[in-house]
């Protein structure tokens, strides 16, 4: 696809409101922190198939980064991002600065992700999901989108956004989009740019472990966990934070007798980079990989 007209760039709430008023009909939003890659492009393409207009937000949200995390080194590539948005036919980009989103500084009132926000990623990154949900709620209000598209890659984030929308009656449909992978299986992530060539080679063991787990799905939960673990223990450069097989909506470990949909999720440090990946699957008879979590979700097509 060639370069198209650049999208309208809104930097303030007033510019966003004025540009948004020019978009009649259904509007879909794809929220990003910038450093766009093929995974974001796929979210945009999926959104464009159904909505009349696609709006992309580019905002590196300080509220979801803890002390010592990678906020200061997170890649900032606004010009390239706008080029990708133009190529994908995005009409409006909202790229505010923190003082536009949080005019009073850190918000005293925030969303709480509750217990589901305290396990897996939340255990390693306390407060992370409160920060994510707070900004997602604000961006939904500011953009007034009818539909919002999120990647399966951040499965816990996706689940929590769905729960927030359902539990607090946000008038928006949340749509999930399968993880986009490099040819060798590495899940696309803005953080992949931190990986050295040897880190990147080692990082492939995450997707290999998930595939091995999915291949063992018919044999049940223990076989899935064993197969995935055996791939990761063979890679000394990968420091595993967690490798779990959990129910896709409770995030609790599934018991050995369990048959049905589950989520095999992994987080690991490779060099200086923390990576996450997951594979939705069906465990037990007829088991195998799924594209996205099916329970409680709408998938983009
Ligand atoms: O997934 C992300 O890029 C971020 O967590 C999001 C949803 C844009 C909120 O800052």
* CA neighbor of 253 nearest in space, from 264, 245, 261: 245
Do residue 74 and residue 221 come from a single domain? no
Tell me the CA–centroid distance for residue 236 and ligand 1, in Å.
30
Do residue 163 and residue 27 come from a single domain? yes
| Active site annotation includes 40 | yes
Do residue 170 and residue 212 come from a single domain? no
Query: Which residue has the least CA distance to atom 9 on ligand 1?
Result: 132
Do residue 13 and residue 112 come from a single domain? yes
- Residue 88: give the domain boundaries: 8-177
The total number of structural domains that make up the chain: 2
Reduced to 3 states, what is the DSSP secondary structure of residue 50? Answer: helix
Do residue 118 and residue 261 come from a single domain? no
User: What pLDDT does residue 299 have?
Assistant: 72
Tell me the CA–centroid distance for residue 200 and ligand 1, in Å.
23
| Within a domain: 28 | yes
User: What pLDDT does residue 238 have?
Assistant: 98
Do residue 18 and residue 154 come from a single domain? yes
| Within a domain: 112 | yes
Q: What is the CATH number of the domain that holds 53?
A: 3.40.50.620
Do residue 26 and residue 160 come from a single domain? yes
Tell me the CA–centroid distance for residue 174 and ligand 1, in Å.
14
Do residue 223 and residue 261 come from a single domain? yes
Which residue among 37, 40, 53, 128 is the active-site one?
40
Do residue 154 and residue 12 come from a single domain? yes
User: What pLDDT does residue 4 have?
Assistant: 73
Q: What is the CATH number of the domain that holds 232?
A: 3.30.1300.10
Integer Cα distance of 64 and 131 in angstroms: 4
108 burial (CB, 10 Å; 0-12 / 13-18 / 19+) is exposed
Do residue 244 and residue 157 come from a single domain? no
Q: Dihedral (C-alpha) 154, 159, 163, 166: value to the nearest 10 degrees?
A: 100
CA 200, 202, 204: angle at the middle one, nearest 5?
75
Tell me the CA–centroid distance for residue 39 and ligand 1, in Å.
13
| Within a domain: 154 | yes
Lining residues, ligand 1, CB within 6 Å:
31-33, 61, 64, 132, 135-136, 154, 157
- Quote the tokens at residue 152: 């399966």
Ligand 1 atom closest to Cα of residue 136? 9
Ligand 1 atom closest to Cα of residue 61? 10
Give pLDDT tens digits along the chain (301 positions). 455 789 999 999 999 999 999 999 999 999 999 999 999 999 999 999 999 999 999 999 999 999 999 999 999 999 999 999 999 999 999 999 999 999 999 999 999 999 999 999 999 999 999 999 999 999 999 999 999 999 999 999 999 999 999 999 999 999 999 999 999 999 999 999 999 999 999 999 999 999 999 999 999 999 999 999 999 999 999 999 999 999 999 999 999 999 999 999 999 999 999 999 999 999 999 999 998 876 666 777 6
104 burial (CB, 10 Å; 0-12 / 13-18 / 19+) is exposed
């Amino acid at each position: 696809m060639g370069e198209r007209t650049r999208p309208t760039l809104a930097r303030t709430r007033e510019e966003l409101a004025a540009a948004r008023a020019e978009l009649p009909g259904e509007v879909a939003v794809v929220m990003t922190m910038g450093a766009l890659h093929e995974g974001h492009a796929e979210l945009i393409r999926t959104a464009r198939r159904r909505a009349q207009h696609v709006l992309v937000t580019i905002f590196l949200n300080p509220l979801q980064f803890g002390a010592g995390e990678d906020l200061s080194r997170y890649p900032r590539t606004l010009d390239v991002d706008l080029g990708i948005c133009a190529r994908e036919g995005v009409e409006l980009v909202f790229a505010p600065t923190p003082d536009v989103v949080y005019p009073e500084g850190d918000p005293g009132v925030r969303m709480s992700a509750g217990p589901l926000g305290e396990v897996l990623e939340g255990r390693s990154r306390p407060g992370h999901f409160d920060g994510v949900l707070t900004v997602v709620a604000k961006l939904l209000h500011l953009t007034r989108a009818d539909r919002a598209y999120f990647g399966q890659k951040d499965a816990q984030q996706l689940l929590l956004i769905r729960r927030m929308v359902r539990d607090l009656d946000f008038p928006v449909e949340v749509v999930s989009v399968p993880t986009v992978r490099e040819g060798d299986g590495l899940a696309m992530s803005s953080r992949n740019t931190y990986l050295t060539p040897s880190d990147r080679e080692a990082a492939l063991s995450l997707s290999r472990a998930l595939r091995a787990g999915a291949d063992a799905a018919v044999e049940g939960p223990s076989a899935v966990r064993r197969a995935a673990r055996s791939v990761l223990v063979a890679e000394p450069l990968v420091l595993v934070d967690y490798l779990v097989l959990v129910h896709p909506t409770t995030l609790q470990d599934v018991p050995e007798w369990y048959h049905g949909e589950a989520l095999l999720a992994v987080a690991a440090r490779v060099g200086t980079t923390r990576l996450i990946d997951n594979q939705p699957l069906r465990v037990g008879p007829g088991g195998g990989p799924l594209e996205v979590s099916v329970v409680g979700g709408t998938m983009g097509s």
